[in-house]
């Protein structure tokens, strides 16, 4: 039978109403939202289901909301879907992947990402940092341009290598603007500022990563039951200590998403299933390799469709 990978989305995939349908129809999913409320001490479920959107978009609400929705969908599919050969999550989604692999308990993960959201939000004053998506440009050109701007004394670096032709840069506002200008002078046509609250996955997040270590220290990490392909290098890890270290480095390191997917393809993964709000990872997957089967599980109907399709293909 062909190999399967479970994927979990990160920030930017959130939407008001996420998880509502599955929680109403599946007791296991409902229990996850209840556990989140208990672990956080406020009504995250209400925020996911009914908003308001402005509040859901705040980093320290978005992060636990996305992890909760992904794990609720995963729990609803347990026993009906085949077990994965690999798991991976985009940025924040790595925490969902660690829950799926048995490395973290859901309660610990949702608590940790709430703290992570606050630390990332507080690391750089609002308005001082920014991010931008560079479309259709060569990775080496972007890297060289960032290095040139760094020599000018402005912080700017590659934050995400998502798929061919889609790279995100991050740094101080002036640094990202300077890189954007230089890239356009070099013929890059599309550099789009992103609506984010901080310069995520940049060196400006080092203080947040150091403080995150104190959040993770008392949390129990177990060895993974399924290899976790980590953002920092696109390599599989199962050792508890290595996976914890990867979470710390991930805060200020580039997300190697394309490399992660290519690694799993190289290992024979034919089917990629995205659990959670939105279709971001499925969209990236089509740009990396259109020949692979992709599925989205975001509500009760899409879960049932995935179960039916995988059951048919395994007969």
Reading across the β-sheet that carries 166-172, which strands appear in turn? 190-193, 129-135, 166-172, 156-163, 255-256
CA distance 177 to 129: 10
Q: Of how many residues is the chain composed?
A: 315
Residue tagged active-site, from 201, 209, 254, 260:
201
At which residue do the structure tokens 């004053």 appear? 125
CB proximity list for 17: less than 8 A, separation 6 or greater: 48, 49, 50
Residue tagged active-site, from 91, 170, 197, 202:
91
In the annotation, is 91 catalytic? yes
Nearest to 59 by CA among 128, 110, 119: 119
CA distance 27 to 32: 9
Residue 130, Cβ density class (10 Å: 0-12 exposed, 13-18 middle, ≥19 buried): buried
Residue 8 tokens read as 């979990």
At which residue do the structure tokens 């829950």 appear? 99
State phi, psi for 162 to the nearest 5 degrees: -85, -45
- SS3 (DSSP) at 55: helix
CA distance 247 to 108: 14
Name the residues annotated as catalytic.
91, 201
């Amino acid at each position: 039978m062909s190999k399967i990978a479970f994927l979990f989305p990160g920030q930017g995939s959130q939407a008001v109403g996420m998880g509502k349908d599955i929680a109403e129809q599946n007791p296991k999913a409902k229990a996850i939202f209840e556990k989140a409320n208990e672990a956080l001490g406020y009504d995250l479920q209400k925020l996911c289901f009914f908003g308001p959107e402005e509040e859901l978009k705040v980093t320290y609400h978005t992060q636990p909301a996305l992890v909760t929705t992904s794990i609720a969908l995963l729990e609803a599919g347990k026993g009906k879907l085949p077990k994965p050969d690999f798991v991976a999550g985009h940025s924040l989604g790595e925490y969902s992947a660690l829950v799926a692999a048995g490395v973290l308990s859901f309660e610990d993960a949702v608590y940790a990402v709430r703290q992570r959201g606050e630390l990332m939000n507080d690391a750089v004053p609002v308005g001082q940092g920014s991010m931008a998506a560079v479309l259709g440009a060569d990775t080496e050109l972007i890297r060289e341009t960032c290095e040139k701007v760094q020599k000018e004394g402005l912080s700017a670096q590659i934050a995400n290598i998502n798929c061919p032709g889609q790279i995100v840069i991050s740094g101080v506002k002036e640094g990202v603007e300077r890189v954007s200008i230089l890239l356009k002078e070099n013929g890059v046509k599309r550099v789009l500022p992103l609506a984010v609250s901080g310069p995520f996955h940049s060196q400006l997040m080092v203080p947040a990563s150091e403080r995150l270590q104190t959040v993770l220290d008392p949390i129990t990490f177990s060895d993974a039951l399924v290899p976790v392909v980590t953002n920092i290098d696109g390599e599989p890890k199962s050792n508890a200590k290595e996976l914890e270290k990867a979470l710390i480095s991930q805060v200020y390191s580039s997300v190697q998403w394309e490399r992660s997917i290519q690694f799993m393809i190289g290992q024979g993964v034919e089917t990629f299933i995205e659990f959670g709000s939105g279709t971001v990872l499925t969209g990236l997957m089509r740009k990396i390799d259109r020949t692979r089967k992709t599925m989205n599980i975001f509500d009760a109907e899409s879960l049932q469709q995935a179960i039916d399709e995988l059951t048919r293909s395994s007969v």
